[in-house]
Amino acid sequence: MQTCEPRILLNRLSACDLCPRCCHVDRTSGETGYCRTGSSAKVSSAFPHFGEEQVLVGTRGSGAVFFSECNLRCVFCQNHGISHGGDGREVTVEELAGLLTGLEAAGCHNVNFVTPSHVVPQVFDALQRARTRGLAIPVVYNTSAYDRVDTLRHLDGLVDIYMPDFKFWSVESSTAWMDAGDYPEVARAAIAEMHRQVGDLELDRFGIARRGLMVRHLVMPGGIEDTVAIMGFLASLSPDTFVNLMAQYRPFDGTARHQELDRRPLPEEMNASRRAALDAGLHRLAR
């Protein structure tokens, strides 16, 4: 259970080591590292989102807060304008706390931080402020899984639902498409820590997620070997791990020059991915 004060995490911005990039830049003085973010979080949008998993959106939506920029910036990112283009505006921690309470007031089932790995101190501070004002709905940490375990540990007790996307198992793919050869090792450790904190996904009597781990895997063209390995790892954590095998990948101008990425996953690849999950012993697959 976390016990640290917001200032402990905020102080780490002065020689930033929050994520695996460990840029060690002084974000408090305006320097930026890989994530191109200073001392203030930048928000692209915040609204009741109905495009997430049904267990999150229910009937009133998931209160999604989309952060601009990213510590990974995959070449194939499906939110390219936000992660690469930096669309959005800087917000104070007080403004961020207000967004959270506003989403609860709008009736959302949860607040959903999308791509928060590079702004954990600001998220931590805003959450504590919102909680003192009565924020009571579950908190979702929606991430690429490129997270340091020692940073995640500060969120123990604040985050109710972790939703990482385990992208690649191979070092070669991670290096080529994300400039992060350590991604597979980092993601395994991060997801294991998330599971330690919150356990398997639990639903309320209406079928809405209230606590636990749910993992996304974006099925990539030609990526079945990675999928098989990832499903095996998730099953080793728990056969009750909730998994969403996503077919949303699509090529765009930024990926057209990469022949391997210049098509959508085939129906037979999606079927093979589902078989890989079932063969590993996983049974809680999103539909």
How distant, in Å, are the alpha carbons of 66, 140, 232 from that of 59? 20, 17, 33
pLDDT (0 to 100) of residue 77: 87
CATH code that applies to domain 40-285: 3.20.20.70
- CB-based contacts of 248-255 (< 8 A; 24+ apart in sequence): 248/78, 248/218, 249/76, 249/78, 249/218, 249/219, 249/220, 249/221, 250/78, 251/76, 252/80, 254/75, 254/76, 254/80, 254/84, 255/75, 255/76
pLDDT (0 to 100) of residue 1: 52
- Please state, in angstroms and rounded to a whole number, the distance separating the CA atoms of residues 144 and 218: 11
Whole-prediction pTM = 0.95
- Please state, in angstroms and rounded to a whole number, the distance separating the CA atoms of residues 36 and 160: 28
Q: Are 107 and 135 in contact (CB under 8 A)?
A: no
pLDDT (0 to 100) of residue 247: 94
pLDDT (0 to 100) of residue 232: 98
Tens-digit pLDDT string for the chain (287 aa): 555 666 889 999 999 999 999 999 999 999 999 999 999 999 999 999 999 999 999 999 999 999 999 999 898 887 777 877 778 899 999 999 999 999 999 999 999 999 999 999 999 999 999 999 999 999 999 999 999 999 999 999 999 999 999 999 999 999 999 999 999 999 999 999 999 999 999 999 999 999 999 999 999 999 999 999 999 999 999 999 999 999 999 887 767 677 888 899 999 999 999 999 999 999 999 97
- Please state, in angstroms and rounded to a whole number, the distance separating the CA atoms of residues 19 and 41: 15
pLDDT (0 to 100) of residue 146: 98
